Structure 1
Amino acid sequence: MNGLSGDAVHLTQAILHAGLEPMRPEVVIFPPFTLLHAVSQEAKSSALRWGGQNLFWEVSGAYTGEISGAMLRDMGCRYVLIGHSERRQIFAESDAQIVQKIKAALLSGLIPVVCVGETEAERAQGLTDAVLRRQLEAVLPLLNLEASQPNLIIAYEPVWAIGTGLSASPEQAQAVHVFIRELAAAYSAQLARRLLLLYGGSVKGNNAAALFGQADIDGALVGGASLQAGEFIQICRAAESAGRGG
């Protein structure tokens, strides 16, 4: 919940004028709902993509304050964040509700970026794999096994590294991404190889290159650093240099 229309326009223009090679990496920004129009007007003729920070699982109805997939599509969105740790913690979103949201996104033609990750307490208890397995066993059955490309993206965001300044080491993040890809391979080895896995835990300009140097880190879900144009562009350049997806 950051920024006003002027901030969104400034950041969007900075990205557009940064000279990044179109679609390499694919850059997607997720502004608050109130700023989607401003972003869409700036980026509509570019390769820059945008998405919603959340959506509701119903198509329409008396759900005051909620946003549907159709509404996001109407704003030109191609992506939507689902299951962010703040939604899971502050709003007590369950795995079952997250599955409903993913289904709604897919039915609306959106690509869900599904967030998974463990808390500091769970990590301290050695429960990282168990937590991720529980979260992903709800999500991975929604992979379209008939498709040549995965219909969703997974973002690993260790909750203990969000907003704390801490970050998993590149090797720690890589190990978790390998575990996620192995879980996905149980459903489809082919799709698992092509599944985009993003890392989202205090990614910054000074650690992005090392993270993108890991074989199974395909991109980043950038948090606080995305509010600073220069920092965000530095991360994008690191992804571009590493040949990562976004």
Structure 2
Amino acid sequence: MRHPLVMGNWKLNGNKAMVSDLIKGLDNALAGVEGVDVAIAPPVMYLDLAQQLLGKAQNKIVLGAQNVDVNASGAFTGDISPEMLKDFGATHIIIGHSERREYHKESDEFVAQKFAFLKEQGLTPVLCIGESEAQNEAGETVEVCARQLDAVIKTQGVEALLGAVIAYEPIWAIGTGKAATAEQAQEIHAAIRAHIASFSQNVAEQVVIQYGGSVKAGNAAELFAMPDIDGALVGGAALDAEGFAAIAKAAADAKK
């Protein structure tokens, strides 16, 4: 049975005080919550502080990061290697986020390289896929998601998805306040799983597929009630301990 994952992508937000307050608040708010994996991805310069705070936390909160390079070391100014992330306890690494694809011109092929490198290093890729508003309106959602997945499947084999996480994030719903209805999200999640099943039914049944895009405490339960939605990749709502914990609780309750 798939285990839901609720992961907070903090993006370019935070300072030392905020990181400390947010992790302590989240730890308190998650008391007694079981049946869901919870992860956070702070900005990379706060990984050390987060690792120290999580080491003292009563609940097991997984540490993640927002990006990684495809090089282990060398003359690559500003980049971060998998080994560096592991050195600070990060295990779940977000790749292919639409903001990286758009602002940093990361191609499907480049994202697939990152995926392969993370797997080689024993880290968990959180692979973001999703369509723009124009692509959605043109009825291209499934085609776009399949293409982004195929960059991994056709170079590494479908089995590479085992142990990884897929995050379906419609770009038009990220940070906009818009969100797909639970039924719309389920339809796309089911189509993504069916595409994977065309290569391997076993992998399709096991792979965790999160939903991301204006997920909040108010819509989480409805989303998580859907059979193919395995948690969420949360943006803005992850910066509030109580609200983020409520999303995690909804994921846990949905799978009871």
Question: TM-score normalised to the size of structure 2?
Answer: 0.90
Q: Kindly indicate whether the alpha-carbon contact (under 8 Å) linking 2:223 and 2:229 is maintained by their aligned counterparts in 1.
A: yes
CA deviations 1:78-135 (Å, max 9, x no partner) are 1100000100011110001001111111111100000000001111111111111111
Q: Please, which runs of 5 or more residues in structure 2 have no aligned partner?
A: 1-11
Q: Please, which runs of 5 or more residues in structure 1 have no aligned partner?
A: none
The answer to whether residue 200 in structure 2 is matched with residue 200 in structure 1 is no
Pick the aligned partner of 2:70 from 57, 64, 73.
57
Query: Which SS does the other structure have where 2:191 is aligned?
Result: helix
The answer to whether residue 205 in structure 2 is matched with residue 189 in structure 1 is no
Pick the aligned partner of 1:150 from 151, 162, 167.
162
- Which amino acid in the other structure matches residue 116 of structure 2? K
Question: Partners in 2 of 1:125 and 1:22 — Cα distance?
Answer: 41
CA deviations 1:137-170 (Å, max 9, x no partner) are 112343563x8x8121100000000011000000
Query: Which structure has more RCO (C-alpha within 8 Å, separation ≥ 6)?
Result: 2
Question: TM-score normalised to the size of structure 1?
Answer: 0.94
By how many angstroms is 1:23 displaced?
Answer: 5.4
Q: Kindly indicate whether the alpha-carbon contact (under 8 Å) linking 2:33 and 2:252 is maintained by their aligned counterparts in 1.
A: no
By how many angstroms is 1:30 displaced?
Answer: 0.5
Mean alpha-carbon deviation: is it higher for 222-231 or for 201-210?
Answer: 222-231
Structure 1 vs Structure 2: percent identity of aligned residues? 43
Q: Kindly indicate whether the alpha-carbon contact (under 8 Å) linking 1:161 and 1:167 is maintained by their aligned counterparts in 2.
A: yes
**Match of residue 221 from structure 1:** 233
The answer to whether residue 90 in structure 2 is matched with residue 71 in structure 1 is no
Pick the aligned partner of 1:36 from 35, 39, 47.
47
The alignment covers a number of residue pairs equal to: 242
Q: Kindly indicate whether the alpha-carbon contact (under 8 Å) linking 2:93 and 2:125 is maintained by their aligned counterparts in 1.
A: yes
**Match of residue 95 from structure 2:** 82
The alignment yields a C-alpha RMSD, in angstroms, of 1.6
The answer to whether residue 119 in structure 2 is matched with residue 106 in structure 1 is yes
Question: Partners in 2 of 1:21 and 1:194 — Cα distance?
Answer: 26
- Which amino acid in the other structure matches residue 97 of structure 1? F
Query: Which SS does the other structure have where 1:59 is aligned?
Result: coil
The answer to whether residue 129 in structure 2 is matched with residue 116 in structure 1 is yes
**Match of residue 180 from structure 1:** 192
